[in-house]
Structure 1
Amino acid sequence: MAAPKKYSDELRERATRMAVEAFNSLFKAELIRNKGPWTGIDDVEIAVAEYIDWFNRRRLHGELGHLPPAEYEALHTASPASELTLKTS
């Protein structure tokens, strides 16, 4: 028996909120608090763009077999699902 739609929506919303809060915490710790000093809004805007690019494309992700997300996505779209295996430690 499937869960009622309202219950599923609430779980999905809670998971999304948790993911956003986790990202926000990482963002503050890794960029805002550890970099700088900021001399103006332009410096912050550039740093945020660079951080998002690094986060989405170049960081090594443990859940993706220590591959950058962009590389994993390229492998995933190029390979049949049965050939793709993750090596996590």
Structure 2
Amino acid sequence: MSSMSRTGNPYDNARMESFFKTLEVEEVNLQEYTDLDEARQGVGAFITLYNERRLHSSLGYVPPAEFAAQDHQAQR
């Protein structure tokens, strides 16, 4: 799956837009970063949490990393 939308089709990018909204609401808007490095660290930590520990209802309440591992095992 591509993370970029086709020209003229904004719905292709809906998943990324949803992630960016979550990032903005759950991380960026709650912080007051002192500099760019601190912002990068905070966003990086959030992405790690989002992928490895945060439960996602659309994935059966498992983190994306666990879902991907389960999917990979099922395809073997």
TM-score class, shorter-chain normalisation, is: 0.7 to 0.9
Distance in 2 between residues matched to 1:10 and 1:42, nearest whole Å: 33
Runs of 4+ with deviation above 6 angstroms: none
Q: State percent identity of aligned pairs.
A: 27
Which structure would you say has the larger Rg?
1
Which structure is richer in relative contact order (CA contacts within 8 A, separation 6 or more)? 1
Residue 10 (structure 1) shift = 6.2
**In the superposition, relative to structure 1, how do residues 20 and 73 fare at CA in structure 2: closer, same or farther (>3 Å)?**
closer
Q: Which ranges in structure 1 are unaligned for 5 or more consecutive residues?
A: 1-8, 82-89
TM-score with structure 1 length normalisation?
Answer: 0.65
TM-score with structure 2 length normalisation?
Answer: 0.74
CA RMSD of aligned residues (A): 2.2
Q: Tell me which amino acid in the other structure corresponds to 1:67.
A: V
Distance in 2 between residues matched to 1:72 and 1:20, nearest whole Å: 18
Aligned residues: 71
Match of 1:53 in 2: 48
